[in-house]
Structure formats: structure tokens, C-alpha cells
Structure 1
Amino acid sequence: MRTLGVEEEFLIVDPRNGGLLPLAGEVLGLHDLGRGAENPPRYPMLAAELQQEQLEVITGPHSSLSGLAAEIRAGRSYAESLARSVGARISALGTSPLPVAPRHTRNDRYDALVEKFALTAREQLTCGYHVHVYVGSDEEGVAVLDRIRSWLPLLIALSSNSPFWNGTDSGYASFRTQAWNRWSTAGPTDVFGSADAYYSLVERLADTGVVTSPDFDARLSARHPTVEIRVSDVCLDVRDAALIAALVRALVETAAREWEAGKPPDMVPAAILRQAAWRASRFGIEGSLLHPVAHKLDTARNVVTAIYDHVRDALDETGDATYVMEGLQRILTQGTGATRQRRSYERNGSLADVVTHATGVTHEETSNPHSGAERVLRSVVIPSRRPGVAALSR
């Protein structure tokens, strides 16, 4: 069974008014003190990001989805406890609903980034969700990248959690995707065909003097034997985070099997995939999407059904099929994080209340009986009954 791990980025928020606080250094200082203790735990790990108003929480590798879900919750709880110590909280929001002038983290890497990319870097305050899945070699990894491209826009739609930007409704379900795509190498890639071709492109990009590490939607990790899928917003709901991770692992496993069987990748141009990503970013699951096989407009429900059908065998083998089927049905019925943010705003027109509500959901503090920690873990370990695709079509 392939191992998987995730990186979640969070905003550091003021519990009094929902504004953002540039306190990453203080939070990480407390984290470093704890790591200095005798026999400190290796995970969860905390790391700095480009802006001081955000924080990254990193899990270890897991074989079981239940283990990953438990550590996602533990990581959120741990980061929250440190944030509370400095008068703040952490919130799983893809972008800030309230206006903010970010302060970048001061070190050689980020100073150079801000100098080179100017306003793009200064305004870049977005929180994503990265999923790492083990691959046996670079060749397998690139074969996977070539075969999952068409499915990645749907992950944007399912995870969409950034409708507000600097005090206004952007009109997008995932405006984080739009802001992120201002980076020079962000977005989908064409088919590589081999690891040599992948590394040749990375080297040629470095020779331009613009980037040293490309921000592709999916790439080979530079530090781990994994592929890294980077298209998703940070998920408001822990259950959605586990769902996205399960889908990514199943996509990787399915793609690897297609490669081993000699099935060629879909040669759809990256320009078409960029349109698919745009529609997913704009509408989430509340509008038509490009079907990942036909590349024609289709309903969100049909596209969601297509991904479930595509990876069902892999999900069955990991025991995640029932959890994924129920999670997809829940999102189709109840909406994404973007939907929940907008509903919160509609109650009284307060963006500060959007942040407060989102912070509660981040830590499962809402009154929703289906958002409790026990529910998350019970759902993950339900034995698979090989649910049919028809269950998503009701």
C-alpha cells in the first residue's frame, strides 16, 4: 500500500476581529522550544511560509487513511495550542476574507523571492493543501504525473475554500487558484514522457533565471520519493482533507497501473487543462466542469462520478471506497468550504464572522453532529462494501 502524507497551510487570525496576525515567528519559536525537549516527536512538523500571517503543518507518511486523518487533526490541534499561547488562532482558509497587507518572512530565500517577483510575491497570501504519495522511482513518478493531469481540476473544485479576497467576494469558489497562478511556472503541464524529459525541462527553466523549483500543479518532490499534488485549497473540514488525500493516492495508484500495463497517457494539451482548472476555480461544484476524459462541459455530479469510477478499484484495495463515496456525496449535497463561507457571510454580512465560523470548523467546534473527530475516524475505517457509482447519481 502506498504511503501518503500532507502539508496544510493555515492563516494566523485574531480571535477578536478576524484579522490576520504576523505571528508565525512567535509560534515557530514555541515549536522549536518543544523540539528541543528530550526525545521530541518527529511529527507533526511546523514550518514557515512566505508570509508571517501563515503557518504550515506537515504530517508524517501513513499507510492508512485513518492514521493520516488522526495526524491531520493532531497537527491542527497542536498548531492551535501554540497560536493560543501568543493570543491568536489558526484557521483553514484558502485566502483571507478581510483586507490584509502581508509581511513576508525575513530570510535569504524569501527576501530574494520578494525582490524578484515584486507585487506577485508581496500579495501572495494563500493557503494550499499538498498531498505526497510514494512512488518507486522517478520513471514511475513521471508516468503518474502524465496520467493524472486531467483529473486535477476536479480536486480544485472539491477543495474550493477561498471565495473572499481582501474584503470582497471574488465570485470564485477558489480564488486562491487565481492568485497562485500568477507565479511563472504555476499550472498544468504537458505530457513529459520520461524522467529525463522532466528533469530537462526543470533544468531549462532554471537556466532562464526566473525559477529554481517549478510550481507545477503536480511534480516530483525534491526531498522525498513521492509525487506532490499541489492544486487544492486547504480544506475547511478535516473530512474533506482526508477525502482529497484518499482520492490523490487512488489516482496515483491507478496511473501507475496504467503505465505498467502500457496504457498511454491522455495527450490533451495543457492549454485545455488550464481552462478546466479555471472552471473548477470559478464555480467549484456549483457549475459545469470539463469532463476529465471527454474534455467537454458536463455536470459536476457526472464529473465527480467519473473520478470515483476511475479509481474505485484502488480505493477498494485500500479500504477507502466507502469513505470516499460518502464524502463525495456529502460535498455534492452540502457544498464545499467556499459554500460554507458564503453561507456564513449571508447570515449577517460580517466577514469577521466568516473567519470566526471557519476557525470553529477548522477545529471541529461547530454544532454539526457530523463534524466531530469520532465521526471522521469511524468513517475512514468502515470496511469497503464496493459501493456502486449509482450511489453518487441519486
Structure 2
Amino acid sequence: MGVEEEFLLVGPDGSPVAKAAEALAASGNDNRESGTGALEPEFMEEQLETATLPRASLEELAQEIRAGRARAQDAADRVDARVAALATSPVPFTGTTVSRLRYLQARHTFGMTAREQLTSGCHVHVSVVDEVEGVAVLDRIGPWLATLLALSTNSPYWQGEDSDYASFRSQVWARWPTAGPTRRFGTPEAYHAAVDAIVATDTVLDHGMVHFDARLSPKYPTVEIRVADVCLHPDTATLLAALTRGLVETAAREALDDVEVTETYPELLRTAAWRAGRSGLEGDLVSPVTWRPAPAHDVVGQLVAHVRDALVDAGDLESVTELLGRLWSTGGGAAQQRAWFAESGGDLHRVAERAVEVTHS
């Protein structure tokens, strides 16, 4: 498995700064090929993206996540900037699109959706044997993706205001025409036919803009789960990766055992994701077991129970239990940001500054 994290570049006062190209050039990463272990630009000049090397060990992946954050900070240091694991900026901003042809085309085609897309996510890749297994996994994991979003929620503020959401990034991201949950595909042929049909509408620029919550990676032999906010603390990113791998492995085993897929309608999955983005770890989520509201703590427990065998076999159960305990003790990224806001007397710049500290903890 591997993890891609997107980060905000902020100045000394916590405001987003458009210095990605400068930082990459100064650190010698501007001409580096894309791929695992890379430090790359994202859609906006106020962002940097890291990618871990693929790891089987959760301990090694945790080290990779921290190393990627340190690598990004090293690049930012060269241009007097800081790296913050914030899924949206608490401080008002005007985004600057990276000067690449594809990104500039997207800005022209999608207007405000693109201009306001200063959001940072976390993508987890889990290897699969082949596309047959990959599609079987996609057909089974949909009901649990909203729970992964809830665990990661880290974007309560938008343009200087409290959005009243735990993840307002999920709301902004949902503006893209292909974002969100998908139906059951059944076969790789059906999956690719659906993607090709979307591209054929000439609504999106290319296959890379098919932004399903979970998809077959266009680059690697993996399933790519794209639903999460970038996690404030590196431990939460590690937890997210462990649960995601457990979810993929559980689905693959069900497919191998010919466990029948329960049809879940995309509109219900979208509703559950909205609830997760609104409530995060506070209040109720939609339980994939009952499809009724239940406390977030209970729904997360249901997820752990669902993937328990996979966690045990990977040797991850003890680590997941410990990491979940830490997450519950802090309340997660959104809750921490709001607590810092209250402690600072309403200073959103201070919220961003505190986020920088925790990003590298």
C-alpha cells in the first residue's frame, strides 16, 4: 500500500502562499519524474503533494508518511514557507492555478469549481492481483467509504468562516462532475466502458479527471481510495491506510469466496458521505450495517469489526486499536482546529500555525 498526501503551503502568518514551483525548483524536485516517493506540485501553487514508496509493513509506511512530510517541509523551507496538513485553508485565500497546460485548461473549462479548488486530500493505494479483483473490490467497499471520510475530517473552515462541516473539502470536491460514489460494475470491461462513456461526453478533459471516490488507478496496479481529507496528524494518515488496506483485503476475500454483492444505490452512498462530511466524528453517521443513524464511535467500531480478520492477518489490529484511541482522545482534525480557534480568541492565522506544528509531530 502507499499514501499520497496533499498539503497547503503557508507563510509565517499561516496564509496560503503561491510558492510550489519555487520550492520544487529550489529543492531540485522540479524535474523529478512522477511516481512513488516523489515530491510534486498539485493543482494550485499553494500546494505540494507527497507520495510514499509502497510498503507492506504498517510501521514502515508510518515512517514513509513522516519522511514525506519532512521532505515537503525541506522544500518549503527554501522559500520561507511552511507545510500544513490542512484540507482547506482556515484563512481567506485566492488560489493560483499551476502553470501547466492541463491545469489551465481545467481552470478555463470548469470556472469557479477549478478556481476555488484549493483543497487537500489523502489518497490510499492498495495493490490488487489484477483488474478483476480490483473491480470486485470496488463493488464491495462503497458502503464503508463514508466512514473513512469521517475519520479523516480536517476542513471546518472555508474562506475565513466556520462552515459548520467537519469536512468542507468534501463539499468543494463534490462540485467536479465525476466526483462521488459509483454503482456496481461487475467486470473490468463494464468499469472501463463507464469511464470511456464519461470521457466521450467531452465534459471532462481526459480519463485522469474521472474522480470516483474509489477507482482503478490509471498509473499503478492498485485500487485507489480518494475520499479522505488530508489528515492533520501523521498517525491518522497511518490509521486511515491500515483500515483502507483491511477494507480492500476483506472485499477481495469476499470475492474469492463468492460472497454475493449487496447492491447499494449511489444516491444512498452519497447521502452517507454528506453526513460524514457534515458530522465527522461528532454526532451520528449512517451505519452501513443498518443504513440508519448511529453514533460515530459505533460506526467506526462496525468498520473495525468488518475488517478485523484482515487486520489480524496483517498484524495491524494492535496498532489500529492504539491509533484509534489517540484519535478519539483528540477528536480529530476538525475538532482540534475548532479548539485552537477558541483558545486563540478567534485567530484563524493561529489555527494554521498550530496545524503546521502538528503536521510534523
TM-score (norm 2): 0.96
Q: Name 1:231's counterpart in structure 2.
A: 227
Distance apart, 1:33 and its partner CA: 5.7
Q: Is 1:143 paired with 2:136?
A: yes
Counterpart residue type for residue 7 of structure 1:
E
Q: Is 1:269 paired with 2:262?
A: no
Determine which of 28, 35, 56 is the counterpart of 1:32.
28
Determine which of 249, 255, 273 is the counterpart of 1:253.
249
Distance apart, 1:30 and its partner CA: 2.6
Q: Name 1:210's counterpart in structure 2.
A: 203
Q: How does 1:80-95 map to 2 (within 5 A)?
A: 80-95=73-88
Q: Is 1:97 paired with 2:90?
A: yes
Q: Is the 8 A contact 1:192 1:198 kept in 2?
A: yes
Q: Name 1:188's counterpart in structure 2.
A: 181
| 2: CA distance, partners of 1:105 / 1:32 | 18
Q: Is the 8 A contact 2:36 2:54 kept in 1?
A: no
Secondary structure (helix, strand or coil) at the match of 2:50 reads strand
Q: Name 2:351's counterpart in structure 1.
A: 354
Q: How does 1:1-394 map to 2 (within 5 A)?
A: 4-15=1-12, 17-32=13-28, 44-211=37-204, 212-213=206-207, 214-347=210-343, 348-364=345-361
Alpha-carbon deviations, 1:264-284, whole Å to 9, x = none?
Answer: 222110100101000100010
Alpha-carbon deviations, 1:297-332, whole Å to 9, x = none?
Answer: 111111011011010111011111011112223323
Distance apart, 1:43 and its partner CA: 5.7
| 2: CA distance, partners of 1:43 / 1:301 | 34
| 2: CA distance, partners of 1:142 / 1:322 | 29
Counterpart residue type for residue 285 of structure 1:
L
Specify whether residues 45 and 258 from structure 1 end up closer, same or farther in structure 2 by C-alpha distance, changes over 3 A only.
same
Q: Is the 8 A contact 2:214 2:223 kept in 1?
A: yes
Alpha-carbon deviations, 1:326-364, whole Å to 9, x = none?
Answer: 222332332110010000000121000000100000011
Q: Is the 8 A contact 2:155 2:165 kept in 1?
A: yes
Alpha-carbon deviations, 1:143-180, whole Å to 9, x = none?
Answer: 00010000000011100000000100000000000000
| 2: CA distance, partners of 1:20 / 1:330 | 29
Structure 2 unmatched ranges of 5 or more:
none
Q: Is the 8 A contact 1:162 1:173 kept in 2?
A: yes
Q: Is the 8 A contact 2:4 2:122 kept in 1?
A: yes
Counterpart residue type for residue 306 of structure 1:
Q
Q: Is the 8 A contact 2:121 2:228 kept in 1?
A: yes
Counterpart residue type for residue 323 of structure 2:
G
Distance apart, 1:60 and its partner CA: 1.0
Distance apart, 1:254 and its partner CA: 0.3
Distance apart, 1:292 and its partner CA: 1.1
Q: Is the 8 A contact 1:31 1:46 kept in 2?
A: no
Q: Is the 8 A contact 1:289 1:300 kept in 2?
A: yes
Q: Name 1:373's counterpart in structure 2.
A: none
Distance apart, 1:293 and its partner CA: 2.1
Q: Is the 8 A contact 1:234 1:241 kept in 2?
A: yes
| 2: CA distance, partners of 1:231 / 1:294 | 22
Secondary structure (helix, strand or coil) at the match of 2:239 reads helix
Aligned length: 356
Counterpart residue type for residue 145 of structure 1:
L
Distance apart, 1:193 and its partner CA: 1.1
Secondary structure (helix, strand or coil) at the match of 2:44 reads coil
Specify whether residues 165 and 69 from structure 1 end up closer, same or farther in structure 2 by C-alpha distance, changes over 3 A only.
same
Higher mean Cα deviation, 43-52 or 134-143? 43-52
Q: Is the 8 A contact 1:156 1:232 kept in 2?
A: yes
Secondary structure (helix, strand or coil) at the match of 1:11 reads strand
Q: Is the 8 A contact 2:6 2:230 kept in 1?
A: yes
Secondary structure (helix, strand or coil) at the match of 2:307 reads helix
Secondary structure (helix, strand or coil) at the match of 1:259 reads helix
| 1: CA distance, partners of 2:322 / 2:80 | 37
Q: Is the 8 A contact 1:48 1:55 kept in 2?
A: yes
Specify whether residues 198 and 34 from structure 1 end up closer, same or farther in structure 2 by C-alpha distance, changes over 3 A only.
closer
Counterpart residue type for residue 32 of structure 1:
G
| 2: CA distance, partners of 1:346 / 1:45 | 37
TM-score (norm 1): 0.88
| 2: CA distance, partners of 1:43 / 1:244 | 18
Alpha-carbon deviations, 1:354-385, whole Å to 9, x = none?
Answer: 00100000011xxxxxxxxxxxxxxxxxxxxx
Specify whether residues 266 and 332 from structure 1 end up closer, same or farther in structure 2 by C-alpha distance, changes over 3 A only.
farther
Counterpart residue type for residue 198 of structure 2:
L
